[in-house]
């Protein structure tokens, strides 16, 4: 929830708001610019660097987190517009026990790993809404870019998770 | 990741006895105080520490960029050390000459040919002098295969010696396995951890025994990668994740026109924005420092910047392409010649000729270019996702106005490298900014900045001419290549006597037995930076060669597979992968209309690869249905890593072949993101079937060799499906639905 704090700023300086965010179960009260993306609040203000910056314009999906359980590209979502609890990769489980994390390790999905926080979060959100996704469901939900090309294993992992 | 400092390595150097093995006879250095002691334990050599609790810390001197070296290299060492794999952990090596990539230099100097002992010794000395600590050339496993096993075996020998001394028994009666030294026939056992401190002071054995392949417990196993757990829970530290006390964040814009400089700019608006600390002009760039990344980016965007163009006409793609095409009319510098190609061409029954071309390509690693630097009176710290520690250290020293031995390079995980992170530009930039700022600074490039300030895979053009006899045999092959030269910037002496080897690799030393051959190269330089891009020259020579061989097959009225097999002569490894891929792809069986198969064979970096691609072209467009891959990469250390590299390389190659193009206008790169430099997505991923040949040959590279044959396999498949020859990449836009 966002509350307007300061009323008078010159037009070249953005409005600053008080925002209450719940991230991975912990409540935070922060004062941030109105348009500061959730990605940077997570990484630079809260120190949760598991969510990654790949493009900053919502094209690659590396910044994917959950807001109210839905997958959101946090680089294009202002933190002040967040109205539900946020889950990042750090909050998906405390011990890599989430089924997606387990399957990712079982099939050795990541290569460099940089995009994988975003892929895992997108996959987890999909499985929450669609426990048995088809290949087409997976392709529609997982538009993340992986430059190392782990797509074959992502596909295999999602098929295995759909069967489980 | 826990720190290993250069001082620790220096202490090792001061204390170790002379020996045969790299890392055992380091030149004497100034003695320095030990770093704060930690629980890593004793140095057995420059790659290995063993702690009292039996933790085995492998110091890995190559960068982990997804190719699995943080697992494969420890596997090699742990195998002959004889420790428990569960005890192994990894730290990144500091920048130090002991970690130089001797293998790469040896390969370059020897031309990949085996050498006699004297030549080998001499080349080794030169390699040590001129080499760099660098990850690239698909050389990490190839270069570590013997040295790290020897390092492990040597350490085991020292541990055994320590135990034998304590027990008063002959060393020959002791053995070391599973992290324990035991005395044959007795109950006496001592763990490596208990022995390490004592062992570290002993003389290393001169000729340690290496395990035979049939004794291997680790090598050849698909062991799970050690770094993957951290990569599924967000804890893996990439360069962009480094956090240093008091750190500021910098957004940087460099002159978009290559060679231009920073002109007038008004920092007032930026300085008024929240969290902004400074606006710092550099010679060719502007940096804005703030207390978080986004604020720095926003503030940078608020500065109106005037750039000063370099003198002369500003380059664009049309001019570059015209220049490269015109270069094909020149004879060029000979890279390889045999027989009499002019005569053979003149005497052929059938002649064919085709011109091919490919564009500049960006690396576009997912982690944007970044580095973190801190300049203090006692030295410089550089936290950086780098493939080239020593080059970075040297650049950092120059930027800080200090000496290399005062620079500490901390290598993080790399969010992709592909050759881009072997450049030192970001080290220079980050250190320069940190020095000006008087505070630690993390410089993070935007995606647009990353894409527009790359060291691109060179654009290239090629004219191929072939001559066939009445029986359709290939008698003559003339190939003219034109491209910029990477080594003209990086190592000019390599271009004095011969053409730049990185520009013609893959076109020379072809396995096809063609009696009359001429390969030449003409350099065309443009003010566009070029550098090493995954598979380098092979990335375009394979496209040229394997597509034109297909054209020759068609002219000869022969099947592309049979035509190649008929030309292979004495090339059993190439023949084997070609036949295997073809068989597994059911080559020669009929396909429904709109479908086609294409085959390509290419050898690079010590490995041999054959691909068969199957495509479908219909009203909806082109889709790549299946790729069958056969690879011979010699002894396989971790088959799962190899499989992953094959899958990933196919994506990398398809992205480039289907979409990749960096274009220039007004001296600047046009593309700036994933919308105008598209990447293959999951929905376009073909089925990949991989077949690895068992081999006892020395390991071949795996990171790059599968990329080159992707484009020709794809284009040959497109020809089979549509009758259309693709002679220019990217494919996009050339196939009308």
Give the pLDDT of residue A6. Answer: 38
In angstroms, the CA B446 to CA B425 distance is 15
Is A143 in CB contact (< 8 Å) with chain B?
yes
Q: How confident is the model at residue B38 (pLDDT cuts 50, 70, 90)?
A: low
Give the pLDDT of residue A8. Answer: 38
Note whether B239-310+369-444 and B317-360+456-722 share their fold: yes
Tell me the backbone φ, ψ of residue B412, rounded to 5 degrees: -95, 180
Is B514 in CB contact (< 8 Å) with chain A?
no
- Cα dihedral angle (A120, A122, A125, A127), rounded to 10 degrees? -70
Give the pLDDT of residue B13. Answer: 38
In angstroms, the CA B161 to CA B167 distance is 10
**Mean pLDDT, residues B610-622 taken together:** 96
Q: What is the pLDDT of residues A81-113, one digit of tens each?
A: 999 999 999 999 999 999 999 999 999 999 999
In angstroms, the CA B554 to CA B560 distance is 7
Residue B57 distance to chain A (closest CA, Å) = 21
Give the pLDDT of residue B118. Answer: 84
Q: How many CB atoms lie within 10 A of CB B623?
A: 14
Q: Is the pLDDT of residue B31 over 50?
A: no
So where are chain B's domains?
Answer: 11-96+133-223, 239-310+369-444, 317-360+456-722
In angstroms, the CA B664 to CA B729 distance is 16
Question: Roughly what angle, to the nearest 10 degrees, separates helices B710-722 and B639-659?
Answer: 60
Q: What is the pLDDT of residues B256-310, one digit of tens each?
A: 999 999 999 999 999 999 999 999 999 999 999 999 999 999 999 999 999 999 9
Taking CB atoms and an 8 Å limit, are B414 and A112 in contact across chains?
A: yes
ipTM of the complex: 0.94
A79, A110, A114, A118, best to mutate vs chain B, most B CBs in 10 Å: A114
Task: Pull the structure tokens for residue B147.
Answer: 């040295």
SS3 at position B519: strand
Q: How confident is the model at residue B544 (pLDDT cuts 50, 70, 90)?
A: very high
Tell me the backbone φ, ψ of residue B468, rounded to 5 degrees: -115, 150
Q: Is the pLDDT of residue B608 over 70?
A: yes
Q: How confident is the model at residue B120 (pLDDT cuts 50, 70, 90)?
A: confident
**Mean pLDDT, residues B619-627 taken together:** 96
Taking CB atoms and an 8 Å limit, are A88 and B225 in contact across chains?
A: no
Q: B317-360+456-722 — its CATH code? A: 3.30.365.10
Give the pLDDT of residue B19. Answer: 23
Question: Would you say the C-alpha torsion B531, B533, B536, B540 has a positive or negative sign?
Answer: negative
Give the pLDDT of residue A4. Answer: 39
Taking CB atoms and an 8 Å limit, are B649 and A149 in contact across chains?
A: yes
**Mean pLDDT, residues B560-566 taken together:** 98
Question: Roughly what angle, to the nearest 10 degrees, separates helices B192-200 and B140-167?
Answer: 90
Is B224 in CB contact (< 8 Å) with chain A?
yes
In angstroms, the CA B338 to CA B336 distance is 7
**Mean pLDDT, residues B65-92 taken together:** 97
Hey, which residues 251-280 in chain B have their CB within 8 Å of chain A? 269, 272-274
B62, B64, B231, B266, best to mutate vs chain A, most A CBs in 10 Å: B231
Tell me A162's DSSP state. Answer: H
Give the pLDDT of residue A13. Answer: 63
Tell me if B727 sits within 8 A of B561, measured CB to CB.
Answer: no
Q: How many CB atoms lie within 10 A of CB B463?
A: 22
**Mean pLDDT, residues B166-189 taken together:** 92
**Mean pLDDT, residues B657-684 taken together:** 98
Q: B239-310+369-444 — its CATH code? A: 3.30.365.10
**Mean pLDDT, residues B490-513 taken together:** 93
Closest listed residue to residue B560, CA positions, set B537, B540, B539, B581? B581
Q: What is the pLDDT of residues B194-226, one digit of tens each?
A: 999 999 999 889 889 899 999 999 999 999 999
Task: Pull the structure tokens for residue A5.
Answer: 């704090």
Report the share of chain B in percent with pLDDT over 90. Answer: 87
Q: Is the pLDDT of residue B36 over 70?
A: no
Closest A-chain CA to B269: A12
Mean per-residue pLDDT of chain B: 93
Give the pLDDT of residue B639. Answer: 98
Closest B-chain CA to A100: B232
Is A12 in CB contact (< 8 Å) with chain B?
yes
Residues counted in chain B: 737
Q: Is the pLDDT of residue B18 over 60?
A: no
Give the pLDDT of residue B82. Answer: 97
Q: How confident is the model at residue B9 (pLDDT cuts 50, 70, 90)?
A: very low
pLDDT-flagged residues of chain A (< 70): 1-13
Architecture of domain B11-96+133-223 in CATH?
A: 2-Layer Sandwich (3.30)
CB contacts of B302 in chain A (<8 Å) are 12
Give the pLDDT of residue B20. Answer: 24
Number of cross-chain residue pairs from A and B with Cβ atoms under 8 Å apart: 189
Half-sphere exposure (Cβ direction) of B477: Cα atoms closer than 13 Å: 26
Taking CB atoms and an 8 Å limit, are A145 and B366 in contact across chains?
A: yes
Is A155 in CB contact (< 8 Å) with chain B?
yes
Q: How confident is the model at residue B16 (pLDDT cuts 50, 70, 90)?
A: very low
Give the pLDDT of residue B125. Answer: 83
Taking CB atoms and an 8 Å limit, are A12 and B414 in contact across chains?
A: no
B232, B647, B703, best to mutate vs chain A, most A CBs in 10 Å: B232
Q: What is the pLDDT of residues B671-686, one digit of tens each?
A: 999 999 999 999 999 9
Q: How confident is the model at residue B127 (pLDDT cuts 50, 70, 90)?
A: confident
Lowest mean pLDDT among B95-109, B229-243, B396-410, B703-717: B95-109
The better pLDDT of the pair A21, B498 is held by A21
* Per-residue buried b or exposed e for B671-693, using 16+ beta carbons within 10 Å of the residue's own CB: bbbbeebbbbbbebbbebebbbb
Is B138 in CB contact (< 8 Å) with chain A?
no
């Amino acid at each position: 929830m966002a509350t307007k704090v300061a009323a008078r700023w010159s037009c070249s300086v953005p409005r600053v708001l008080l925002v209450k965010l719940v991230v991975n179960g912990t409540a935070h009260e922060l004062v941030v610019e109105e348009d500061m993306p959730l990605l940077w609040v997570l990484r630079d203000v809260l120190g949760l660097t598991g969510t990654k910056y790949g493009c900053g314009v919502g094209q690659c999906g590396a910044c994917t987190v959950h807001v109210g359980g839905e997958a959101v590209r946090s680089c294009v979502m202002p933190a002040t517009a967040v109205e539900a609890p946020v889950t990042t990769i750090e909050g998906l489980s405390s011990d890599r026990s989430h089924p997606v994390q387990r399957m990712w390790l079982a099939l050795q999905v990541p290569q460099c790993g940089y995009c994988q926080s975003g892929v895992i979060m997108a996959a987890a959100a999909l499985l929450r809404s669609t426990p048995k996704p088809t290949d087409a469901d997976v392709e529609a939900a997982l538009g993340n870019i992986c430059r190392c090309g782990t797509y074959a294993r992502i596909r295999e992992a999602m098929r295995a998770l759909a069967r489980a | 990741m826990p720190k290993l400092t250069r001082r620790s390595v220096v202490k090792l150097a001061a204390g170790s006895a002379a020996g045969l093995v790299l890392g055992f006879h380091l030149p004497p250095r100034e003695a320095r105080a030990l770093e704060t002691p930690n629980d890593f334990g004793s140095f057995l050599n420059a790659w290995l520490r063993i702690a009292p609790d039996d933790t085995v810390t492998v110091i890995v001197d190559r960068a982990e960029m997804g190719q699995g070296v943080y697992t494969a290299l420890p596997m090699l060492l742990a195998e002959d050390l004889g420790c428990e794999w569960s005890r192994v952990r990894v730290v990144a090596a500091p920048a130090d000459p002991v970690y130089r990539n001797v293998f790469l230099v040896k390969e370059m100097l020897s031309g990949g040919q085996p050498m006699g002992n004297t030549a080998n010794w001499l080349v080794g000395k030169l390699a040590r002098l001129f080499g760099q600590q660098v990850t690239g050339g698909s050389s990490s496993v190839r270069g570590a295969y013997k040295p790290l096993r020897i390092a492990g075996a040597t350490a085991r020998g020292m541990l055994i010696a320590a135990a034998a001394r304590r027990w008063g028994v002959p060393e020959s009666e002791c053995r070391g396995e599973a992290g324990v030294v035991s005395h044959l026939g007795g109950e006496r056992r001592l763990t490596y951890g208990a022995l390490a401190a004592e062992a570290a002071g002993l003389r290393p054995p001169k000729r340690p025994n290496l395990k035979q392949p049939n004794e291997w417990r680790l090598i050849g196993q698909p062991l799970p990668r050690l770094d993957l757990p951290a990569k599924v829970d967000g804890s893996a530290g990439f360069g962009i994740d480094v956090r240093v006390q008091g750190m500021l964040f910098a957004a940087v814009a460099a002159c978009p026109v290559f060679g231009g400089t920073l002109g007038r700019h008004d920092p007032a608006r930026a300085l008024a924005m929240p969290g902004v600390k400074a606006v710092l002009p550099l010679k060719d760039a502007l940096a804005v420092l703030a207390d978080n990344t986004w604020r720095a980016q926003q503030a940078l965007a608020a500065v109106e910047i005037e750039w000063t163009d370099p003198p002369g006409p500003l380059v664009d793609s049309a001019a570059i392409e015209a220049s490269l095409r015109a270069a094909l009319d020149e004879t060029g510098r000979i890279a390889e010649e045999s027989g009499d190609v002019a005569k053979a061409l003149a005497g052929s029954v059938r002649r064919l000729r085709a011109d091919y071309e490919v564009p500049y390509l960006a690396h576009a690693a997912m982690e944007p270019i970044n580095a973190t630097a801190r300049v203090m009176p006692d030295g410089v710290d550089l936290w950086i996702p780098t493939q080239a520690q020593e080059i970075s250290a040297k650049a950092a020293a120059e930027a800080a106005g200090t000496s290399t031995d005062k620079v500490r390079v901390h290598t993080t995980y790399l969010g992709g490298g592909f050759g881009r992170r072997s450049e030192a530009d970001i080290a220079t930039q980050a250190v320069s900014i940190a020095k000006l700022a008087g505070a630690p600074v993390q410089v993070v490039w935007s995606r647009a900045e990353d894409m527009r300030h790359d060291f691109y895979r060179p654009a290239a053009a090629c004219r191929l001419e072939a001559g066939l006899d009445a029986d359709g045999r290939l008698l003559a092959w003339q190939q003219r290549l034109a491209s910029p030269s990477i080594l003209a910037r990086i190592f000019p002496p390599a271009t004095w006597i011969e053409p730049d080897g990185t520009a013609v690799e893959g076109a020379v030393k072809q396995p096809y037995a063609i009696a009359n051959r001429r390969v030449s190269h003409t350099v065309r330089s443009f003010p566009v930076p070029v550098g090493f891009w995954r598979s380098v020259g092979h990335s375009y020579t394979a496209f040229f060669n394997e597509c034109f061989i297909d054209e020759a097959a068609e002219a000869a009225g022969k099947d592309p597979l049979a035509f190649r097999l008929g030309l292979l002569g004495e090339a059993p490894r190439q023949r084997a992968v070609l036949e295997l891929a073809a068989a597994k792809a059911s080559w020669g069986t009929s396909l429904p209309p709109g479908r086609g198969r294409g085959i390509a064979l290419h050898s690079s970096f010590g490995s041999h690869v054959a691909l068969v691609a199957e495509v479908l072209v219909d009203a909806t467009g082109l889709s790549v249905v299946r790729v069958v891959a056969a690879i011979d990469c010699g002894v396989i250390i971790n088959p799962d890593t190899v499989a992953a590299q094959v899958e990933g390389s196919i994506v990398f190659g398809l992205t480039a072949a289907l979409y990749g193009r960096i274009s220039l206008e007004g001296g600047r790169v046009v593309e700036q993101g994933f919308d105008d430099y598209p990447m293959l997505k999951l929905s376009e991923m073909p089925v990949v079937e991989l077949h690895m040949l068992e081999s006892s040959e020395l390991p071949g590279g795996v990171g790059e060799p599968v990329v080159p044959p992707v484009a020709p396999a794809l284009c040959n498949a497109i020809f089979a499906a549509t009758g259309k020859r693709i002679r220019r990449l990217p494919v996009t836009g050339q196939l009308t639905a």
